[in-house]
Amino acid sequence: MHCARIHPFGSSDGFSTSLEANGESGPDAGFTLIELLVALMIFAMLASAGVLLLGNSVSAQAQIKARLDDMAAVQRAGGALAGDLGQAVPRITRTESGTLAPAFWANGEGEGQPVMQFVRGGWDNLGDLPRPSLQKIEYWVRQGRLERRSYAQLDGAAGDEPAALLENVEAVVLKFRDAQGKWRDDWTPTQPDLLPRAVEMVLKRTGEPPVTLRFLVAPGPIEQPIIEGATGA
């Protein structure tokens, strides 16, 4: 039984397709049907592999970009915290309702209050605006976001619109290093103008491992010893 060959370019006169049923090959012999099917199958396999490889590459690039963006956001948030805490000053302020607020205040209960509140120095005033060089700063965790809120005035003024620093934040756990070098879970100083020596912040985020950040706080006043039994004149 002879296998027919299909000439890909037709006969020598360019108009008809020659079928060689005698199995003999010549200078004008083409490919058999089986050879064409095998070639098409190989091409389809290579094309499928190329599409799969391209899809995996695009997916990997998207994941890498998302990871790099997330790392950059954490670094920006850490930079903002380091800059604020590194220039903290022992300044007692008043809230919008007029009550006194200590120089450094921290809270770990719910979203109704900021997780940290303090005053920082070094606030540039390039436009010569009628405001001090000190700035009251608050950090909040609300609706899954770590936010930074600033105040144009220190006492009794309303805060500006908060700026979101990080997304998908479930909780923030704080620790404070006192003058004796001990880490404490809360900050309840004996003097309202005392500042911690350092702050540790553990960020717990959705689908991510906890991130631990530590920041030095600018030097503050020295804690005065409490003399038991002492009374004012």
Only one residue has tokens 């948030």, namely 77
Tell me what pLDDT residue 149 has.
94
The confidence score (pLDDT) of residue 233 equals 42
What distances in angstroms separate CA 77 from CA 146, 168, 171, 225, one per listed residue?
Answer: 9, 13, 15, 36
Q: What is the pLDDT of residue 147?
A: 95
| Tokens coding 28 | 């004008």
pLDDT value at residue 86 = 95
Cα 145 to Cα 78, 165, 178, 231, distances in angstroms: 14, 7, 28, 47
**How many angstroms separate the CA atoms of 108 and 87, rounded?**
23
| Rounded Cα gap, residues 209 and 201, in angstroms | 14
The reported pLDDT for the residue numbered 76 is: 93
Q: What is the pTM of this model?
A: 0.69
Third-level CATH fold of 83-216: Pili subunits (3.10.610)
Q: Where are the domains of the chain?
A: 83-216
The whole-number pLDDT of residue 27 equals 52
User: What is the mean pLDDT, run by run of 10 residues, along the chain of 233 residues?
Assistant: 49 45 54 84 86 80 80 91 95 88 86 91 73 88 93 87 92 93 91 94 91 93 70 46
Return the pLDDT at 51. Answer: 84
